[in-house]
Structure 1
Amino acid sequence: MTPLPPKGPEKRAKPSRAIRRLVIWYRRNAAVTSLVDSATSAASSAANTAGNVAGTATSVAGSMANTVLQPLVFDPLRRLQRGLGGPGEDTPINDSDRLWVAVDGMGGDHAPGPILEGCLRAVELLPLRVRFVAETALLQAAVTAMGLQDELNEAVARGLIELVASGPSVGMNEEATVVRKKRDASINKAMDLVKQGEATAVYSAGNSGAVMAAAIFRLGRLKSIDRPAIGALFPTKDTEQQVLVLDVGANMDCKPAYLHQWALLGHIYSRDVLQVAQPRIGLVNIGEEECKGNELCLRTYPLLAAEERFTFAGNCEGRDILSGQFDVVVCDGFTGNVLLKFLESVGSVLLDVIKEELPRGRRGKVGSAFLINNLRRIKKRLDHAEHGGALLLGVNGVCVIGHGSSKALSVLSALRLAHSAASHGVMANLHALSEAGSPEAPVACD
């Protein structure tokens, strides 16, 4: 039997160019990395042997050494670590600039405790005051359980939060029309505060159908708007730009006229609040060509193309929504809700995938330490909690709907959105929106 030829050395898979560059960079900066570790270790050793006073001094020295030397190591990645907070958040707030916002304290899976906690954080960071509407007994129990009593008392004493008692609330699983029966429900009383001019905006993380019904019954629809739409802000590849997607869940079955009206609403909001000089409007579709899509898209396209009050940029495929090529995109609520829920999962999944693909071993652990802050920032940009809520456009008032699972961070983000919409006078321009439209016309595809 003829012996098999000896096996040659197995070829190892070549690491990617990015990983090779990272390893080379680590080797070149090994001296700096060692110096940082040595300085920190020396300080820790000195702290263990020198008593409390000397220990404090050496710990400070170690921290100073680490602070001074670490930027030398992290500088190449620091350009990716830009903060996402809005400008001016550290500027002292003038109480005369604060706007009243009504908050449905009983809306959401975790209400009322985390909703109140988010409001307490918001009044410290944003120029607003909160009228918090909730059932007294349930609110007090949540305040006690979460240890928020002292903080709440201080906010009330400063006039930053006002508690408003409500009746039985609308459950997350109840029919939307129940808002007509529960007249004293927290969502109804919060809407009434806006209607009566005691608040400039309303926020709720409750049953979205009930929130929409309460807004229509209490605030009313804007003239020429047949169906209000929920508009959500999606991130794009440009950190300074967001795209407004509507509708994301209020209307499952739509008519072309609805999408036309939502494009007008989105145009005004993008121009006045997001400060986009000439918003580009897109129609979510399966292709760029005018003849592509289902009947809804085929009949909507000519309506948008003929509209002279905004810039219609054509069909927007799914891959282009986050590209930055559009400022507003419109679609039916079914499609929009799928897009919204998909985006909500991307941040955590992406972070997990990147972690799995990082190199193994000692250098891999070092690389993970270098990249962890960047990965967290990527997740933060894609995290729905950072965006907080969606706007209900088409009703006679500023209304923000939060996610049912909202906690303090989501509430804070949503209140920032509500304040932004209320402080830019967008409602005046929405009221000025005159009724206009083009006749619906089917498009034939050759």
Structure 2
Amino acid sequence: MENDSPNKVNRPRAIRRLVIWYRRNSAVTSLVDTAASSASAAGNVAGSVVSSAGSVVSSAGSMARSTLQPLVFDPLRRLQGVADNGLGTTAINDFERIWVAVDGMGGDHAPGPILDGCLQAIERLPLRIKFVGEVEKIKLAAKAMDLEDLLNKSIKKDLIELVPSGPSVEMNEEATVVRRKKDASINIAMDLVKKGKASAVYSAGNSGALMASAIFRLGRLEGIDRPAIGALFPTKDPGQPVLVLDVGANMDCKPNYLHQFALLGNIYSRDVLQVNKPRIGLLNIGEEECKGNELSLNTYELLINEDRFNFVGNCEGRDVLSGQFDVVVCDGFTGNVLLKFLESVGSVLLDVLRAELPRGRRGKVGSAFLRSNLKRIKKRLDHAEHGGALLLGVNGICVIGHGSSKALSVVSALRIAHSAASHGVMEDLANLHRPKALSI
């Protein structure tokens, strides 16, 4: 009896010490809004059923995993209008599905992971996919990834259609190669949109080739000199992303280009992201209107005198993710640097937090509680997890995926394509040359 008594006392005490240690690490718990509740729940479970520290970690891990569903960070999910059936999948009315053309040969890992993402997307989103590519390679990839049966079933249900193409544009080729490779998958996909057989096009391939193909095949919108790539960046509010454009299409810009980017971004934010009165900001080195280089100063004058959108002033780099702006405009060189920097933040932050956690057994147990949450933070800050960016300013909906895109990124990108196609954004973009159509 005397030997059992210390165990009865020490176990609850160890649990209490663990919870006290966890709560004292406010620097970590302030970053992870769900960590405190997970630790508390794990402590309650441990008090009654846990016989070892290993089972505490297992319980907490299973609780965390149950909350981390795919696409939980996607700010467009609430705009889809698709009901969850409680099983992690969605109830979709086939009559509401729209066709999206997918460049199946574009990307570092194509066509297998791209096909996998498309098959997942038709289960979660009201979409039908015209999968464009070299059919034999697609079938071999499907067989290698054990997707053959699912692909055939989807084809029979008219959810996916394989559209044959010729040799594809490689990632290292010049953008103008799309003029020579007329039957490349990206060109065939663009033609499907041009002919009205698809509402949007997605490609994770050569972004320069995609932009060139879009301009050659679809053409620019009236009143737009240069199309821009618009990327959704996360902010402090998971449901309120900020649209940054341009992030790479135009290295050297004129003030009127940035003015047009603001018009494009205002329409997209209003129509697709459902922001009533988007707040437009100009990326600059200071808030004052007298700050900046010649491009910034001249652009500021154009934006401040524009009555078709709500220009709220200059946006410093530290304010991009603050939630104070809905759209931020900049030249493509600056925007691409900002984009690539953001891509590194998630992994760096995760490494810093790991390094700062206490050492020893208590640190290992605490790390186990936080592991899933830290990965969640990394994903929220990693732009590649958001799927793709929009090419705005061409006469069609085009989504550019990350070159290294795999299944989850493909699903997220197709969510963006669906949102843009189903909210009437092209009608408003087509009326850019009519000021009254854009009056707020």
**Does the aligned pair in 2 maintain the 1:97–1:127 contact within 8 Å?**
yes
Task: Give the match for residue 338 of structure 1.
Answer: 337
Task: Give the match for residue 225 of structure 1.
Answer: 224
Change (3 A) 1:40 1:320: closer
CA distance in 2 between partners of 1:168 and 1:111 (Å): 13
What letter corresponds to residue 286 of structure 2 in structure 1? G
Is 2:181 the partner of 1:182? Answer: yes
Task: Give the match for residue 19 of structure 1.
Answer: 25
Q: Which runs of 4+ in 1 moved over 6 A?
A: 24-31
Deviations 1:278-331 (A, max 9, x none): 100000011111111111111100000000000111110100000000000000
Task: Give the match for residue 441 of structure 1.
Answer: none
Change (3 A) 1:36 1:379: farther
Task: Give the match for residue 404 of structure 2.
Answer: 405
SS in 1 for 2:139: helix
Q: CA deviation at 1:126?
A: 0.5
TM-score, reference length from structure 2:
0.83
CA distance in 2 between partners of 1:164 and 1:369 (Å): 47
Change (3 A) 1:145 1:431: same
Q: What is the count of residue pairs matched by the alignment?
A: 392
Choose 381-390 or 268-277, whichever is displaced more.
381-390
What letter corresponds to residue 357 of structure 1 in structure 2? E
Is 2:73 the partner of 1:84? Answer: yes
Deviations 1:327-370 (A, max 9, x none): 00000000000111111111111112111111112221221122
Is 2:268 the partner of 1:269? Answer: yes
Change (3 A) 1:201 1:74: closer
Q: Percent identity?
A: 71
Change (3 A) 1:30 1:418: closer
**Does the aligned pair in 1 maintain the 2:132–2:164 contact within 8 Å?**
yes
Task: Give the match for residue 35 of structure 1.
Answer: 48
SS in 1 for 2:322: coil
**Does the aligned pair in 1 maintain the 2:237–2:323 contact within 8 Å?**
yes
Q: CA deviation at 1:137?
A: 2.5
CA distance in 2 between partners of 1:30 and 1:176 (Å): 57
Q: CA deviation at 1:30?
A: 6.4
- Root mean square deviation, CA, Å: 2.9
Change (3 A) 1:29 1:180: closer
CA distance in 2 between partners of 1:132 and 1:199 (Å): 11
CA distance in 2 between partners of 1:17 and 1:31 (Å): 15
SS in 1 for 2:50: helix
What letter corresponds to residue 50 of structure 2 in structure 1? D
**Does the aligned pair in 1 maintain the 2:230–2:243 contact within 8 Å?**
yes
SS in 1 for 2:369: helix
Task: Give the match for residue 8 of structure 2.
Answer: none
Choose 27-36 or 153-162, whichever is displaced more.
27-36
Structure 1: gaps spanning 5 or more residues: 1-14, 45-61, 437-446
CA distance in 1 between partners of 2:73 and 2:234 (Å): 12
Change (3 A) 1:230 1:35: same
Q: CA deviation at 1:31?
A: 7.4
Task: Give the match for residue 47 of structure 1.
Answer: none
Choose 181-190 or 351-360, whichever is displaced more.
351-360
Is 2:381 the partner of 1:368? Answer: no
TM-score, reference length from structure 1:
0.82
Q: CA deviation at 1:385?
A: 3.3
**Does the aligned pair in 2 maintain the 1:234–1:322 contact within 8 Å?**
yes
CA distance in 1 between partners of 2:257 and 2:332 (Å): 11
Task: Give the match for residue 357 of structure 1.
Answer: 356
Task: Give the match for residue 12 of structure 2.
Answer: none
What letter corresponds to residue 73 of structure 2 in structure 1? L
Change (3 A) 1:189 1:283: same
- Map 1:435-446 onto structure 2 (within 5 A): none
What letter corresponds to residue 424 of structure 2 in structure 1? G
Deviations 1:47-84 (A, max 9, x none): xxxxxxxxxxxxxxx9xxx97xx69x989xx99xx943
What letter corresponds to residue 414 of structure 2 in structure 1? L
**Does the aligned pair in 2 maintain the 1:74–1:370 contact within 8 Å?**
no
Change (3 A) 1:38 1:100: same
Task: Give the match for residue 155 of structure 1.
Answer: 154
CA distance in 2 between partners of 1:109 and 1:187 (Å): 15
CA distance in 2 between partners of 1:216 and 1:179 (Å): 11
**Does the aligned pair in 1 maintain the 2:218–2:395 contact within 8 Å?**
yes
Change (3 A) 1:27 1:205: closer
Deviations 1:359-408 (A, max 9, x none): 11222122112212221221121122331000000000110000111111
Task: Give the match for residue 442 of structure 1.
Answer: none
**Does the aligned pair in 2 maintain the 1:224–1:435 contact within 8 Å?**
no
CA distance in 1 between partners of 2:41 and 2:348 (Å): 33
What letter corresponds to residue 280 of structure 1 in structure 2? R
Q: CA deviation at 1:206?
A: 0.9
What letter corresponds to residue 37 of structure 1 in structure 2? V
- Map 1:58-69 onto structure 2 (within 5 A): none
Q: CA deviation at 1:146?
A: 1.5
**Does the aligned pair in 1 maintain the 2:90–2:124 contact within 8 Å?**
no
- Map 1:188-337 onto structure 2 (within 5 A): 188-337=187-336
CA distance in 2 between partners of 1:262 and 1:198 (Å): 28
Change (3 A) 1:30 1:264: closer
Is 2:125 the partner of 1:123? Answer: no
What letter corresponds to residue 135 of structure 2 in structure 1? T
Task: Give the match for residue 10 of structure 2.
Answer: none
CA distance in 2 between partners of 1:266 and 1:100 (Å): 24
SS in 1 for 2:176: helix
The structure with more radius of gyration: 1
